[in-house]
Each structure stands twice: as structure tokens, then as C-alpha cells.
Amino acid sequence: MSLSFRIKRPLQVAASGFLILLIAERIKGHGWREALVFSAIWAAMSTAIFIGTMLYYARTQKDCPICNDVSAKPS
């Protein structure tokens, strides 16, 4: 995995999680401030778990289908 992939993928996870949670909180009728705080906290926690999983699989050299760079061309 390249360095740009290792940076880009967690940012995608954080951004998508944040937006989904923000929309869900607003649909439930919560205020903007509450929805933003809730979404930011849970997006950060889920991204931390994702990064931890990536590091675990990299350290143990196990195959991680979620972590693999699917855009990489086979050589």
C-alpha cells in the first residue's frame, strides 16, 4: 500500500461516516450543534478502529480485503 493510499482511505472513511451520521441526526430532529458533535465523535472513533485494523493486518502480514488498494495494478 502506498503512503497516499494510507492517508486517503481513512479520510474517506471519516468523511463518509461523518456525513451519514450528520444526515441521520438531522432527520431524527436534533439541532445542528448536537448533530455535528455526535457525528464528529463517532466518525473519529470509527476511523480510529479502521486505522487500528489496517495497522494490525499490516503488522501481522495478513490479507485484508478492506485495506487492500483495489486500484493498484497487478504487476
pLDDT at 34: 96
**When comparing pLDDT for 2 and 43, which is higher?**
43
Average pLDDT over residues 53-57: 85
Domain boundaries, the chain: 14-60
Q: What is this structure's pTM? A: 0.75
Q: To which residue does cell 458533535 refer?
A: 37
H or E element in which residue 61 lies? none
Distance from first CA to last CA of the chain, Å, rounded? 14
